[in-house]
Every structure is written in C-alpha cells, then in structure tokens.
Structure 1
Amino acid sequence: MPTPRTYGEIPGYPVGSTFQNRTELAKSQVHRPLQGGICGGQDGAESIVVSGGYIDDEDFGDEILYTGQGGNDPNTKRQVAHQQLKFGNLGLVRSQLEGYPVRVIRGAQGDRAHSPAEGFRYDGLYRVADHWSQVGVHGFRIWRFRLVELESTDRPPPDVEAAGPAGRERAVIQRLIRSTPVANAAKRLNDYRCQVCGLRLETPTGPYAEAAHIRALGRPHDGPDRLSNILCLCPNHHVLFDTGAIVVDEDGIVRDTISGQEIGKLRMDLGHAIDWTHLTYHRQAHKQ
C-alpha cells in the first residue's frame, strides 16, 4: 500500500529548518525519498529538492523554473534522453490541477544566491503555477514547471474554536482567472461563448466565460496581454487548454491530444483576430 501523501508543512520543521544530508532530510519527512528530486506520483507531488541537478533549472527565490525528472546522467549532469510526463513529473501536474502546495527544499549545489552553504534547507511552500515541455540545453525534450512561493502555514489558524465543529483546511487557488479590459473584450466579442464548444453559461448575474491566454504571461513565455493572444473558453475547455489536453492545429482544428481525435473547428469572430504563432507555441509547449 502506498504511503499517504502529506501536503503542506511538516509539524516541527518550520521554514528555515536545515539538514546535514539526504538521510536526515528523509527521516524528517520533509522530503521522503533518499534519492530523487520529486516526492510524488500520479496522485500529486508533495515536495521537491532544488540542488543543481539539472542545468535547465532557474531559481529566482520566490519563483522557480524547475526541470522535471528523468533522462539525466547524475555523474555528468547532462541530459541524455527525453523526459516523459510520468512519475514525479505527472505528480507536479496533478498538484497544479488540484492546488496542492509543494514543499521546496534547496541544496548546497543550487543557485548560490538562494541556496544554503551546506546541506539542505526547507524554504517553504510553493504552488505549481504552470507546466510545459521544451527542448533543453542538451537537445532533449524536458518538462518544466513554474513554482511560485506561498506564505508559510506553519502556525494554527486564528479563532480555531470559533470555527465550529467542522474541520477546515486552507485552500490554494492554482489557476488565476484574469479579468482585464482586454480579457473582457475577448468575451464580449465572442458573446461569452466558448470558442471550442460554443457553450454560453448563463448565471443570475449574467453570462460567464473565461479568458485563456494562449501563450502564458510572465517568464519564461512572455506572452502579451492582447486580444490576439486570448481565447474565450468555458471553464472545462480552459482547464483542458491550459494543461495541453487540447490544442489547435495549423488548420484551426481543435484536437484531443490524448485520443488524437478531432473535436471541431475553433470558433472565430471577425472582430477577434488570433495570432497563430501563439497557437503554434502552445502546441510545442505541450508536445509529448
């Protein structure tokens, strides 16, 4: 029977806790594996170690561009094979979808500006904000994950007794739904109808749709917040698009990347021009 996952902080090990080696780190349960940078599987990932094991890693302190596991020669640190979306890599995607917080541990071999001088250090909870695939420095396809720092939760919530008998847990929002003038314009131009399925959700406060950036904003994608980089989608197809479960091919056909089946033609409004280079970027970013 697999060991139950523990998401969030481990009691007794607040942010800043240090460990001399992997054995001590594993014993604490902050990061359980004696080897491997990701503690997780298809049900989710609870912790990662950032310690310079992959040349494509980028550490900015409150934000980490993390390389998934697999295909790496531990002796030379060279990528020698393509990575696959399974094991810990799949776990990080599941943590993004479910909003599970991920414990981040930094090792002495990582970026000097953000890593301990020796051993390992627990640096708090992060959320998986994005994932994609790309060809890495050594020419092999890798999976990358953008993790963003969360506030520490290593303290009891206030007024616990006043909360009533029902247990309460902190929730983490894993997907930001942006509401900007440009995003709202995309919704209006499409009459709040999903450009994949045509669904128009009616609520007591009016129609509802979501604006999906085709090429993600922020690093490393640097997509623009413009109409040409936005699709109007229903919540279901927004999730499927963000995770690469659906893509739009060069002919404007929406395809299911799991089954390979054709879903239909992307619905287009004459007043809402799409930059097709962003759709190409999206396909490449979710290529298996």
Structure 2
Amino acid sequence: MAAIQFGEIEGIKEGDTFISRQEMTNKGLHRNTVQGIDGNGEHGSASIVLNGGYEDDKDYGNLIIYTGHGGNVNKKQIRDQSWDDPGNKGLLISEMHGLPVRVSRGPKHKSKFSPEKGYQYGGLYMVTSHKYKKGAHGFWVCLFRLEKISSIVSNSFDIRELSVDYKTGETSRVASTILRIVRDTRLSRKVKELYNYTCQICALRIEFNGVGYAEAAHIRPLGKPHNGKDLLNNLLCLCPNHHVMFDKGHFTINNDFSCEGISEGITVLDGHILDPDNLNYHKEHHK
C-alpha cells in the first residue's frame, strides 16, 4: 500500500467523480477499496468515504457526523465500537494533531450531496470533535464531527499567507485564497514527537486514548518584523497554557534554561539545541 498522504492529491479537485473505489485507489484519493477510513493509529487518517454503511452518519454538507469503524454487519451495529480500532484512532490523531481529512461520497449514501452513481470527492475537512454514544441499534459507537475547511474560514478573498522554505528556514509571504488552519508542519511534529507531546515547562501531557496533544511554539516569531525562522532551534513543545503565556511574554527563558516570570525552568533534551539569539530576542521583545 502506498504511503499515507494528507491534504489534496495533485490533479484531483473538489467535485471530481470516479467510477469505482478502485479508481479512487489508483488515483491516490483513498487507498482502501473496502473500508471507509483510510488511515492508521500511528500517523492519522487522511480520507473517509461516506457510502451508507452506518445509520448514525449525518451529512449536512459542510458539517458531517461520521460513525467510526467496527461492529457493523449488513448496515446493522452488532457490537460496541472501540477507540483502539486503527481507523478510529487515526481520526483521533487527525483531530488532535490538526490534520486534514479528504471526504468522498458514494451512491449508497442517502444524502442530497451524494452522486447518483460512482463516487465524488467533496473536499478537505477537519475533525473538530469526537464523542462516544449509543447508536441507533443500542451499541456504543465512535462519532466524529467534521467541518469543511472552506466553511471554517472565508476563501472569498486573497490573504497573505506565510510560506516557509524548509531547507533554510527562510520565510516569505505568498498570495493565498484560504487560511492555513492545519496546525502540524513537519518540524512542529518533530519537536512534539521529540518530547512525546509533553510540555517542556510543566511536564503536562494532554492525551485521549493514548493520543497526545501539544503545541509547537516559535521562540522568535515568523515573518516581519521579527524575521524568525521555522527551524528546530527556534521551536518549543508546550501545553496550550504555557504556549499562550510564552507568546504574551508572561515568562522568558534564560540561556541556562531557567525562566523569569515563573518558578519552573525548561526541560531541553539532548539533540534539541536552542539558539541563544532567539531566546535573547524573545526576552528583549518582552522586556
């Protein structure tokens, strides 16, 4: 099976139709010809297909309530679902890590947004929440709320979006018609994985069913007038509270990794070298 790919697939645009699931697989849109969730419990889920398999699915176009995988035979739920199922855990990872999910619809999905035949690609969505509840047949099911990215932010006008050259860390502004809301970049995932999604300040690890959540904080902000670079030596792994506190200058970090403004110091692992110039810049900026 090909490597999992998040986001848009080159050459495929919203509204494109496909004769079969096999054609979708051949094009790289959805790698599985049977299961409705394309993903795993390690990297996340990149694609789902709605095709009438679960009665608890709800499709409002820009908003979808999607039933997870498992326990369904001939469209009838016969046992409880589990968050440990690779597809379900993959969707949890996509939610917690801010990864986009491609949504496609098939002819058996009873919705005005579904094609009469074949399959149709419906665009990129974000998993915004999840819950566990008893479904129509009395068994517990994993439910995911997905919202279309273009409905979360306006794409009716051009904005200036930050573009990063990952080889040099240099940044520039490029024209874009949609706000980037996907939270994870290659380097932000790297710093979070390095610390196992644990805050470098308070050692808090936010998790659900083993899936961690943390935020990557730039020491020296990107773009003008700060001109920081998107490099590992300019990134911290923080919980949401300490991320906001750091960005607002509630505390600063000294070169010896003690902190001013809070009693804690910062944990820095071997191999994660912080640029002292960035630490000094943050301190001077918030003096």
TM range (shorter): 0.5 to 0.7
Amino acid at match of 1:80: I
Amino acid at match of 1:84: S
Tell me which moved more, 162-171 or 24-33. 162-171
Equivalent position of 1:138 in the other structure: 137
Amino acid at match of 2:4: R
Larger relative contact order (CA 8 Å, sep ≥ 6):
1
Equivalent position of 2:209 in the other structure: none
Instruction: Answer whether contact 2:51 2:108 (CA < 8 A) is retained.
Output: yes
Instruction: Answer whether contact 2:14 2:122 (CA < 8 A) is retained.
Output: yes
Question: How much does 1:18 deviate?
Answer: 0.4
| Structure 1 residues 42-71: Cα deviation after superposition (integer angstroms, max 9, x where no partner) | 120000001111000000000000000000
Alignment of 1:113-262 (within 5 A): 113-151=112-150, 166=169, 170-173=180-183, 205=248
Instruction: Answer whether contact 2:2 2:31 (CA < 8 A) is retained.
Output: no
Equivalent position of 1:187 in the other structure: none
Alignment partners' CA distance in 2, 1:147 and 1:167: 33
Task: Structure 2: give runs of 5+ residues left out of the alignment.
Answer: 152-157, 172-178, 185-203, 205-240, 252-287
Q: Alignment identity in percent?
A: 39
Question: How much does 1:112 deviate?
Answer: 2.9
RMSD over equivalenced CA pairs, Å: 3.3
Alignment partners' CA distance in 2, 1:163 and 1:83: 41
Tell me which moved more, 19-28 or 97-106. 19-28
Equivalent position of 1:88 in the other structure: 87
Alignment of 1:97-112 (within 5 A): 97-112=96-111
Specify whether residues 163 and 142 from structure 1 end up closer, same or farther in structure 2 by C-alpha distance, changes over 3 A only: closer
| Structure 1 residues 227-262: Cα deviation after superposition (integer angstroms, max 9, x where no partner) | xxxxxxxxxxxxxxxxxxxxxxxxxxxxxxxxxxxx
| Structure 1 residues 61-106: Cα deviation after superposition (integer angstroms, max 9, x where no partner) | 0000000000000x3x100111111210000000001111000001
The TM-score normalised by the length of structure 2 is: 0.55
Amino acid at match of 2:122: D
Alignment partners' CA distance in 1, 2:90 and 2:120: 22
Question: How much does 1:163 deviate?
Answer: 6.0
Amino acid at match of 1:60: Y
Task: Structure 1: give runs of 5+ residues left out of the alignment.
Answer: 175-193, 195-199, 209-288
Question: How much does 1:121 deviate?
Answer: 0.3
Question: How much does 1:40 deviate?
Answer: 0.6
The TM-score normalised by the length of structure 1 is: 0.55
